[in-house]
Structure 1
Amino acid sequence: MPLPHTLTEAERDPAVKAVLDALSDSEMREIIVEAAARALNNGNTTLTPKEAAKALGCGERFLLDGCNKYGFPYIGLGKAKRFGPQELRAIQDMCRVPAQPSRLAKARSAARRKK
């Protein structure tokens, strides 16, 4: 099979489809995340709310509600909202839930205090 960059557009579409069909969902996700990370690390790329939600693993509505109601950072371009790497990291930090001790750990701690 010739290299992808030497194929005509009509030949390339079925070739790309065949490659995509051969990949599992986890492989596809890994490729998409890696490509998004590379693009974001260039610093010039911003994502639409839909793309940013996919990169964060949440819904688009959650992301937009967070911007409108809870102070999630975004880049405002007119009415459009865009998200760069710094904004995505800040949103992840805002949504981070601190670790909580389990009920078993609390019970053990209480038992030790009684002794």
Structure 2
Amino acid sequence: MTSPEAIRTGAERRAIIEATIRALEQDEVMLTPPEAARAIGCGERWLRDGANHRGFPHHRFGKFLRFSLQDCREIREIHREMARPSALAKARRRKATTRKPTGSGTATPASVRLKPVA
């Protein structure tokens, strides 16, 4: 008995392989570590260490390390930090919520006292 692959001619096999390669290349661009580091905005060593030891998404083809565009997006999202309000903003917010209203309301020019210039 022969397998279906044995029946195919050399030309048919080459056409199948070329179609497969084209399909793979259309979907993904594979970046080398220096290219991916530049795209992400980080150092190449940090990116390699992350892929080797910290579980960053990546592809490995034998000894070659590659990153897809989706991998780069995921790495950036993993390390995205939400903005934190500064200590001054926190103090202002705390002060605004603990203020007790004064009886007169807003200050008028007559009630404002200026320090004399020495």
Q: TM (normalized to structure 1)?
A: 0.59
In proportion to residue count, which structure has more helix?
Answer: 1
Residue in structure 2 matching 1:68, options 49, 52, 55: 52
Which structure 2 segments of 5+ residues have no match? 1-25, 100-118
What is the root-mean-square deviation in Å for CA atoms of aligned residues? 1.3
Deviations 1:21-62 (A, max 9, x none): xxxxxxxxxxxxxxxxxxxxx533201111111111211101
- 1:44-63 equivalent positions in 2, closer than 5 A: 44-63=28-47
Q: What displacement does 1:103 show?
A: 1.5
- 1:77-88 equivalent positions in 2, closer than 5 A: 77-88=61-72
Partner of 2:80: 96
CA distance in 1, matches of 2:91, 2:28: 51
Question: Which structure has the bigger radius of gyration?
Answer: 2
Percent identity, aligned pairs only?
A: 47
Which structure 1 segments of 5+ residues have no match? 1-41
CA distance in 2, matches of 1:83, 1:104: 41
Poorly superposed stretches of 4+, deviation over 2 Å: 112-115
